[in-house]
Structure 1
């Protein structure tokens, strides 16, 4: 049984001199406290997908992620608690014979079966034509069909990866990062938990695959805006197209109340340069809130930089969604 989430999550005023000098208010939406095993935006995006899986009678979930994917761990925990099988296709065949890192160990401990793919096979499996480790989303969202017994005999993991229904039988395929139409609808609950949103409000979140930003933008009242901070390098245009695609899939329309900042990715997906780590440590000391480095720290560092540069009109109220937990020490 999956323990209940803490909803609504706390909303905390954050008095910080950088923002105060700019005449900007900052508050934190503490979604990192939402659930111990399925934290933050992972719960928001997974909850409607899990409900659909159970309703449709699925017994197996299949999804994708990198070596330290929070999404893989969250799917493993949620599936195990609901009595569902889970399969994780992991980017990087070289990891198969290495000792598991803490993240992959946690996924396996929760019951997930891991399959390690070459980067080429992983791109094919997730529906991406090329690129490195940027977080493109798989387009598949429905159930796989059962190919019949013995259909995967003699097939390599690479061959099966691009055709998951042949290898795994009936399953619900969740895209990389969990971002699909249902996920966007789930994330739309975030602004619904924020009181008195209006024309001076900007609700902000990090952007990996676009699902959280899509939901936040869709859930805003008139006048309020959403700002995403891209955590991967080279996502300009691509991420905007993904958010628009998710809006069309979930709501049958596009929204014009959001934008993405591409200047604060810290060198690329998963990169945490020294200046970003130092910012996170200072923020933690000042405010007593532990920061996840690859997403949340980039978000807050970007907001501090933008506020200091006068990018927000005085009187703006920023709400930063703390989307996840820091890695264990």
Structure 2
């Protein structure tokens, strides 16, 4: 039987992730001080920002006595991977609505999820686009009675407080840098942003002009906050796409910085940051912190 005691064991005994200074010739040349917040080390299975975003979502599901958890994602979804792990920890069945073909069930991400008890339901891209359609959600709720429905990526209003707690673990800095996909992590950080620290999100998806509106929906305070921005030019061709030259440079950065990076989220954002530093987008003397949002499990498939 799942209960809040399991949630307390999962969250309340955890320690914060380490902050690691980074060294690179480009940083010295441009007078930039850069550290990385290693949220990839928060939990062995609930990786990075997923651990933070799911914190109060899971508590609410348990409070409502949900009989299971249901959410959405692609074949390499960090979110579904983390949700399956959380369900196992909490004793809750999980269902993943997966965009793609059943053959994807053999990949490392979904193999883990299935091993942890997640039931995988594959849908076409056309059906997947309906993941916010009230009628389709009502059908899913009827198919899986008692299951708590969580939006794609875990990006819901309940995700914001867990993300906002990150600020308690950070020293003062001029700017916090992070990769952005569904927008929930950036929205949570904007909601509690200290006045002296700006936020820059590097979009990892192509055509992400809609992100600002989504972030505003999640965090209305963002609409009047001039202390954050999105960089939309470093998507590498689209979500989970990464040209060979970018892959090579991400690997070089990971080696030089002594930090594991993958080419979907943190690797792509780190490469974008270094390109922007080289282009002079960050003033000399700036103190920056990069948020590693995890997702290293996805690199097992050669993404």
- Calculate the TM-score normalised by the size of structure 1: 0.83
2:119 is aligned to 113
2:153 pairs with one of 161, 170, 177: 177
In structure 1, how many angstroms separate the alpha carbons of the residues matched to 2:32 and 2:104? 48
In structure 2, how many angstroms separate the alpha carbons of the residues matched to 1:58 and 1:265? 37
Closer, same or farther: CA 118–221 of 1 in aligned 2, 3 Å: same
Closer, same or farther: CA 162–68 of 1 in aligned 2, 3 Å: farther
Q: Secondary structure at the match of 1:48?
A: helix
2:247 is aligned to 277
CA shift, 1:99, in A, is 5.5
Q: Which deviates the most, 281-290 or 105-114?
A: 281-290
2:86 aligned with 1:78, yes or no?
yes
In structure 1, how many angstroms separate the alpha carbons of the residues matched to 2:14 and 2:259? 18
1:133 is aligned to none
1:101 is aligned to 107
Deviation digits for residues 7-55 of structure 1 (CA, Å, limit 9, x no counterpart): 3110111011112211111110000000001010000100110011111
Contact 1:214 1:246 in 2 (8 A): yes
State the aligned residue count: 291
Deviation digits for residues 74-106 of structure 1 (CA, Å, limit 9, x no counterpart): 0011011101111100002xx225662111111
In structure 1, how many angstroms separate the alpha carbons of the residues matched to 2:92 and 2:105? 26
2:187 aligned with 1:214, yes or no?
yes
In structure 1, how many angstroms separate the alpha carbons of the residues matched to 2:172 and 2:280? 24
In structure 1, how many angstroms separate the alpha carbons of the residues matched to 2:232 and 2:140? 33
Contact 2:68 2:92 in 1 (8 A): yes
1:202 pairs with one of 175, 184, 204: 175
Deviation digits for residues 207-244 of structure 1 (CA, Å, limit 9, x no counterpart): 100011111222221121100000000011x0000111
2:229 is aligned to 259
CA shift, 1:192, in A, is 2.1
Contact 1:9 1:29 in 2 (8 A): yes
Deviation digits for residues 262-304 of structure 1 (CA, Å, limit 9, x no counterpart): 0000110000211221112112221221112200011111110
2:70 is aligned to 62
1:155 is aligned to none
Q: Which deviates the most, 214-223 or 67-76?
A: 214-223
Q: Secondary structure at the match of 2:195?
A: coil
Q: Secondary structure at the match of 1:120?
A: helix
Closer, same or farther: CA 300–253 of 1 in aligned 2, 3 Å: closer
In structure 1, how many angstroms separate the alpha carbons of the residues matched to 2:243 and 2:132? 28
CA shift, 1:162, in A, is 6.4
| RMSD of aligned alpha carbons | 2.0
In structure 2, how many angstroms separate the alpha carbons of the residues matched to 1:207 and 1:74? 17
In structure 2, how many angstroms separate the alpha carbons of the residues matched to 1:195 and 1:101? 39
In structure 2, how many angstroms separate the alpha carbons of the residues matched to 1:234 and 1:217? 22
Deviation digits for residues 181-219 of structure 1 (CA, Å, limit 9, x no counterpart): 11122111122211234xxx1101101000111112222
In structure 2, how many angstroms separate the alpha carbons of the residues matched to 1:180 and 1:211? 7
2:167 is aligned to 191
Contact 1:244 1:254 in 2 (8 A): no
Point out where structure 2 has 5 or more consecutive residues left out of the alignment: 1-5
